[in-house]
Amino acid sequence: MNGTEQRKYWIDTMIRIGDPVLSSLAQRKLREQLPTEFHRERSHFAHLEAFARLACGIAPWLELQDLDGEEEQRRLKYTELMLQSLDAATDQDSPDYMDFDSVGQPLVDAAFLAHALVRSPRNITSKLDDRVKKNLISAFKKTRHMIPGPNNWLLFSAMVEAGLYILGDPDYDKVRVNYAIRMFMDWYKGDGIYGDGKDYHWDYYNSFVIQPMLVDLIHLFEQDSYAYTGFKPIILERAKRYASILERMISPDGTYPLIGRSLTYRFGAFQHLGQAALQHFLDEQINPAQVRCALTAVIRRTMEVPGNFDDNGWLRPGVYGYQPNLAEAYINTGSLYLCSAVFLPLGLSPSDEFWSAPNAKWTSQLLLSGEDLLADHSIEA
């Protein structure tokens, strides 16, 4: 497949994953239709999890301008479904009104939903009518009674404030944003990696949460503090390095190390690499087309395994097919939709080099076919 064909494959895959969520929610039938048999004790949170995580991943595509043809028709359709879904999720008279009040999990997914608004300020956030904006502001503020732990949850608290900011609420809390940014500056472990709190864990949380949210927060709020002006280039240098590490972790056949918790988020593990491509901060030695081809290999390797979906098209837990024992106690059906974060580069125009350049081998393919590449180095070396 060339870049044009790969783009269509990505869109087809994204819609296959996301259509059941958005189509059901826009009709105010998500609570009725989303499977909740898996980890039923967590099912109360499943609807917000599915919607917010999907929204976080597809928002850049919905934000695109100047498309045409079939893709533009599809983008318009799902933009409208997203706007209807935001209404259904936050209208207290809706049967799909979502839980933003309970202690714990709603803070996480309010943050993912806020991140979607940050990623689509023109076609989603600015298109919301005043009633829905008011409902979203109210929903986000309900999560403020939750005290985040000393880990990636600080970024959830900060991103909710980013959602309030992007919605135009002057009451956003700069202290929550500042605390999260400064703590992660302290929790840096070296060579592009942050601890999830004071300790480092071998998992993909630098990609699931930490680096994507930290990068977008420093972009959004850099004007709020002179200190942020100094932090920004440091954060972006680290982000660039971590994106390079993720690219090197993709094997020639599209597999990757299955290490750590939350593996059932599947290729959402590469959110940060996708964000680096979307925002053009890939390392200069990395050809954007090699990232496209590497991520396509990851997506295909995962999607070609039977068992990822139930008979009605809803995701099932696993990393390659149906593997329920991989799902930790906090995982429910809705949690799985963080896989959608891999699709961030669809927010680039089809004419962007990422999509338009010829196919290219990624690092592991190059090295294992005998290519003589420059040695890899730590950014602290």
Task: Annotate 287-315 with DSSP letters as a single string.
Answer: -HHHHHHHHHHHHHHHHTSTTSB-TTS-B
- The helix/strand/coil state of 164 is helix
| Measured CA angle at 52 (ends 47, 55), to 5 deg | 125
Distances (CA, A) of 161 to 6, 52, 108, 173: 36, 16, 12, 6
347 touches 119 (CB < 8 A): yes
- pLDDT at residue 289, as a whole number: 98
pLDDT over 80 at 38, yes or no: no
Q: Any alpha helices (H) in 130-205, and if so which ranges?
A: 130-142, 153-166, 174-186, 205
Rounded CA-CA distance 190/193 in Å is 6
Where do the domains of the chain lie? 3-368
Q: pLDDT class for 381, splitting at 50, 70, 90?
A: low
Q: Does the pLDDT of residue 42 top 80, yes or no?
A: no
Mean per-residue pLDDT over the chain, rounded:
96
Residue 37: its pLDDT value, please? 78
pLDDT on residue 225:
87
Closest to 161 (Cα-Cα) out of 217, 104, 121: 217
> What's the average model confidence in pLDDT over 77-105?
95
Residue owning tokens 């300020």: 121
Q: Is a pLDDT exceeding 90 seen at residue 123? A: yes
Residue range 167-196, pLDDT digits in tens: 999 999 999 999 999 999 999 999 999 999
Residues 313-338 have a mean pLDDT of: 95
Report the candidate in 259, 260, 144, 149 with the shortest Cα–Cα distance to residue 197. 149
Look at residue 39 in the predicted model and tell me its pLDDT. 65
Tens of pLDDT, residues 247-291: 999 999 999 999 999 999 999 999 999 999 999 999 999 999 999
Residue 233 pLDDT > 70, yes or no? yes
pLDDT at residue 80, as a whole number: 98
Residue with tokens 């939903």: 113
- Average pLDDT over every residue of 67-90: 97
Which pLDDT belongs to residue 198? 92
Residue with tokens 């993912």: 112
Architecture, CATH, for domain 3-368:
Alpha/alpha barrel (1.50)
Cβ pair 349, 66 in contact under 8 A: yes
pLDDT at position 380: 80
**Helix, strand, coil shares of the chain as percentages rounded to 5?**
60, 0, 35
Overall average pLDDT of the 152-170 stretch: 97
Query: pTM of the entire structure?
Result: 0.96
Q: Is the pLDDT of residue 40 over 70?
A: no
Residue 228 is predicted with a pLDDT of: 94
Question: How large is the average pLDDT for residues 156-177?
Answer: 96
User: Tokens standing for 236?
Assistant: 């972006």
Average pLDDT on 15-29 reads 98
Give residue 119's region: left, alpha or beta (phi > 0; psi -120 to 50): alpha
Buried b or exposed e, range 2-16, using 16+ CB within 10 angstroms: ebeebbeebbebbbe
* E-only strand ranges, the chain: 188-190, 193-194
The closest of 87, 172, 174, 93 to 133, measured between CA atoms, is 87
